Amino acid sequence: MTSFTRSALNRVRRLQERGHYDKATIYPIIDEALICHVALVQDGQPFVIPTIHARMGDELILHGANASRLLQHIERGEPVCVGITLLDGLVLARSVFHSSMNYRSVVLFGRGRVVSEPAAKLAALEALSEHLAQGRWQDARKPTARELKATKVVAIAIDSASAKVRSGPPGDDEADYDLPIWAGVVPLDLRAEPPEPDPRLPDGTAVPAYAAHYVRR
Amino acid sequence: MTSFTRSALNRVRRLQERGHYDKATIYPIIDEALICHVALVQDGQPFVIPTIHARMGDELILHGANASRLLQHIERGEPVCVGITLLDGLVLARSVFHSSMNYRSVVLFGRGRVVSEPAAKLAALEALSEHLAQGRWQDARKPTARELKATKVVAIAIDSASAKVRSGPPGDDEADYDLPIWAGVVPLDLRAEPPEPDPRLPDGTAVPAYAAHYVRR
């Protein structure tokens, strides 16, 4: 399956021309984002929780403490909805009405399972670590048995998803193009700045490339 | 009231030392973020929708098309939960276990009302525009009566909220400080790049300062 079926869950209703249902559009957005926002329902009340994630195939990996309310909720098999948004720019149209943002967003739906088998759990933690900083897993001290036991990992099957994407210049009303108003896009990018070494690091400790010249996936 | 009461809704459960309940911490995070993620429940199913926002006093302003499912939901008085997250850095601890992110996040809870009185509606749209680009409202073509009619504005009373903040260097296990592993923070910042003028803009149209040197609030 290379695309998700359109359904009441994932159909993009507003500005349908911005909607995408193919994994070739959806998965790179998930992979580029550093965090996601997970929505869940408890006693009819919506909650949203930001957390880091990684994608392994058609599953979204989350992790946290054993006592995490979010992870316990997912462990019980409850449905979640995950929102992931990359901001690409401010779209300053001549009119306020047509002003907008350039963005790439994904909303996905699914239910999760706990990943408890040790090798699979370690692989999931490696995916989370590599998602944030490619190469770090090899350098860092790996989890101990005690740390693994204190950590819960869940895998959410991505049952349904869609992306919404806006790019390019403003789209003004034809009559407004004659107005003497500057219009265009202010590009936005989440960028890394030079790394700040830990104050307790011995002088001369080599800075790894993924920290010195950090590149998001 | 300068702080929100701790309750089952907003209490920070994990890493409680990172939790904040005072408006002096919470409101600047809301104001700095360019987008939020709104969670809602429909027929027991959670949904999360990214959108732009602005804060006016103790209310969060959202807007969109009249047909917006999110805004219709809010208009019916249903509860929503809004997540707002600013990423400040990757925290590369010596151990994978203590690696983390530096962030400032807010989760808020409330119910909304439609803002229909014309002057209040225009003021809310101005707040949204100014939230994204301070100074733009004065330059841009203001909404017409027809555009105002096609736009829905809602104000969500912020009934409950909390912030969660992590900053500073990694916190490794004492024994790990002797390991020959680089550790520190890779700061992250959502930054503006030089503006891209609309291709249809007449040559020589002056670039306003808020686009040439964009600064987030």
Over pLDDT 90: what percentage of chain A?
94
Residue A173 lies in a domain: no
Asked if the structure places residue B7 within a domain, the reply is: no
Pick from B195, B148, B126, B194: nearest CA to A182: B195
Nearest CB among B40, B129, B208 relative to A99 is that of B129
* Whole-number Cα distances in Å, A132 to A33, A34, B96: 9, 6, 11
- Could you say which of A49, A109, A208 has the minimum Cβ distance to residue B83? A49
CA B7 to chain centre: 22
DSSP B106-171: EEEEE-EEE--SHHHHHHHHHHHHHHHSTTHHHHSBPPPHHHHHHEEEEEEE--EEEEEEE-SS--
pLDDT at A216 over 90: no
B-contacting residues in A 98-127 (Cβ below 8 Å): 99, 101, 103, 105, 107, 109, 125
Q: Assess if residue A189 is contained within a domain.
A: no
Partner A contacted by B215 (CB < 8 A): no
Number of structural domains chain A divides into: 1
Q: Which residues of A touch B147 (CB under 8 A)?
A: 95, 97
**Is B139 an 8 Å CB contact of chain A?**
yes
Domain that includes residue A115, residue range: 16-167+199-212
HEC states along B13-34? Answer: CCCHHHEECEHHHHHHHHHHCC
User: Of B59, B215, B113, which is closest to residue A90 (Cα–Cα)?
Assistant: B215
What per-residue confidence (pLDDT) applies to A14? 80
A10 domain residue, yes or no? no
Instruction: Note which residues in 34-53 of chain B have CB less than 8 A from chain A.
Output: 34-35, 37-41, 44-50, 52
Q: Are B130 and B118 in contact (CB under 8 A)?
A: no
Domain-located, residue A178: no
pTM of the model: 0.96
Set of chain B residues whose Cβ sits within 8 Å of the Cβ of A102: none
Q: Is residue B158 part of a domain?
A: yes
Query: Is residue A29 one of the residues assigned to a domain?
Result: yes
Instruction: Look at B95 and A65 and tell me if their CB atoms are within 8 Å.
Output: no
Q: Cβ(A205)–Cβ(A212) under 8 Å?
A: no
| pLDDT tens figures, A150-192 | 999 999 999 999 999 999 999 999 999 999 999 999 999 999 9
The CATH number of whichever domain residue A49 belongs to comes to 2.30.110.10
Residue A215 has pLDDT above 90, yes or no: no
Q: For residue A14, list chain B residues with Cβ-Cβ distance below 8 A.
A: 64-65, 67-69
Give the separation between CA A74 and CA A53, rounded to whole angstroms: 14
Q: Is the pLDDT of residue B217 over 80?
A: no
Query: Percentage of chain B with pLDDT > 90?
Result: 94
Q: Which of B96, B80, B95, B90 is nearest to B38 (CA)?
A: B80
How many angstroms separate the CA of residue B27 from the nearest CA in chain A? 18
Share of residues in chain A with pLDDT > 70 (%): 100
- The answer to whether position A30 is within a domain reads yes
Note whether A105 contacts B50, CB cutoff 8 Å. yes
